[in-house]
């Protein structure tokens, strides 16, 4: 009887430890970036006003201001902005699937013109890679330019919070000068336009997308851990949309947007044209503490470094494109 009691006590202590781990802070937060990125700068766009279903409507559950996407054995799902934009600021608050096991599940928020230019498209991605229980979600950022999908520019970051517990904002700032990825108010990656390589920098209108799908072949631990549909459905919820960019009006505004600094400033919420010192320091901190993969440092994959990597100094802070 005594042994049974001790055994039950050990099990209880072990379960209590697991519960504390699940509810504990995931990681140290980065230093303040000093600038509010979304609040006070942009009006939210309702899902109904800004987006439409493009893939598996039965798996999409929209309301006026939010939308949930589900992945199960039958299908994943996706939506797209009704308009294409040239430069601007695009954001959504996303709550990722909170299933006990979500390995292989890929949830995305990105800008792309694959439908407009199917053979030479541009794409700027947030990709959230599902996890085995006990591991952290991995956020992968990536960029493809002019349809060259054989050259990926991936960086992977383990977030300092659990993105399945509550919604956090994920934003893309795209101007003629740079592209910045933000998590909440924190910049995590900057891709700087280098005019010597201007031919590969995204400079054509893009749609905004959100999707969820099965990435078993690669997403979690290199494809070792695949989607297990006994844990489905896997549901991601998107809300607090921002769609602020130049849109075509009589064929003129796209052209003006490329050269009009006032218009660029307007559609990007008057954010500074370059990262501030506080933002840069915050970005460096995240990259130092939470980045787990950087394509520029993958010499097995790219024995000859990509052009922007050749010009990088020893600090892994940005890509010069």
Catalytic residues: 123, 127
Supply 23's token pair.
């509810």
Query: Please, are residues 212 and 55 in contact by the beta-carbon 8 Å criterion?
Result: no
- Answer positive or negative: Cα dihedral of 248, 172, 185, 82: positive
Q: Terminal CA-to-CA distance of the chain, rounded, Å?
A: 69
Report d(CA 28, CA 32) in Å as an integer.
12
Residue 309 three-state SS: helix
Residue 111 three-state SS: strand
Supply 166's token pair.
């509550």
* H/E run at residue 5: helix 2-23
| Phi, psi angle pair for 49, to nearest 5° | -75, -35
| Nearest alpha carbon to residue 154 among 319, 32, 278, 320 | 319
CA distances from 208 to 24, 45, 122, 182, 318 (A): 34, 13, 12, 16, 23
């Amino acid at each position: 009887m005594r042994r049974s009691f001790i055994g039950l006590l050990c099990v209880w202590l072990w379960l209590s430890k697991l519960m504390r781990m699940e509810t504990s802070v995931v990681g140290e937060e980065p230093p303040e970036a000093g600038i509010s990125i979304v609040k006070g700068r942009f009006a939210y766009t309702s899902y109904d006003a800004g987006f439409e279903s493009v893939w598996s409507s039965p798996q999409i559950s929209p309301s006026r201001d939010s939308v949930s996407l589900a992945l199960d054995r039958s299908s994943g799902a996706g939506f797209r902005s009704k308009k294409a934009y040239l430069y601007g600021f695009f954001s959504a608050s996303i709550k990722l699937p909170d299933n006990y096991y979500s390995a292989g599940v890929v949830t995305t928020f990105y800008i792309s013109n694959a439908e407009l230019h199917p053979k030479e498209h541009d794409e700027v991605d947030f990709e959230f890679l599902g996890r085995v229980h006990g591991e952290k979600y991995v956020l992968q950022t990536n960029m493809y330019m002019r349809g060259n999908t054989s050259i990926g520019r991936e960086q992977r970051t383990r977030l300092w919070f659990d993105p399945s517990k509550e919604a956090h904002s994920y934003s893309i700032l795209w101007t003629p000068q740079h592209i910045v990825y933000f998590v909440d108010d924190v910049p995590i990656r900057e891709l700087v336009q280098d005019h010597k390589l201007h031919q590969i920098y995204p400079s054509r209108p893009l749609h905004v997308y959100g999707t969820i799908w099965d990435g078993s072949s690669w997403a979690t631990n290199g494809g070792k851990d695949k989607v297990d549909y006994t844990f489905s459905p896997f549901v991601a919820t998107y809300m607090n949309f921002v769609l602020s960019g130049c849109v075509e009006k009589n064929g003129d505004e796209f052209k003006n947007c490329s050269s009009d600094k006032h218009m660029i400033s307007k559609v990007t919420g008057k954010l500074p044209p370059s990262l501030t010192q506080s933002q840069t320091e915050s970005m460096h901190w995240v990259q130092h503490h939470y980045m787990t993969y950087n394509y520029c440092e993958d010499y097995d994959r790219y024995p000859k470094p990509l052009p922007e990597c050749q010009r990088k100094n020893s600090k892994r802070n940005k890509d010069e494109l």
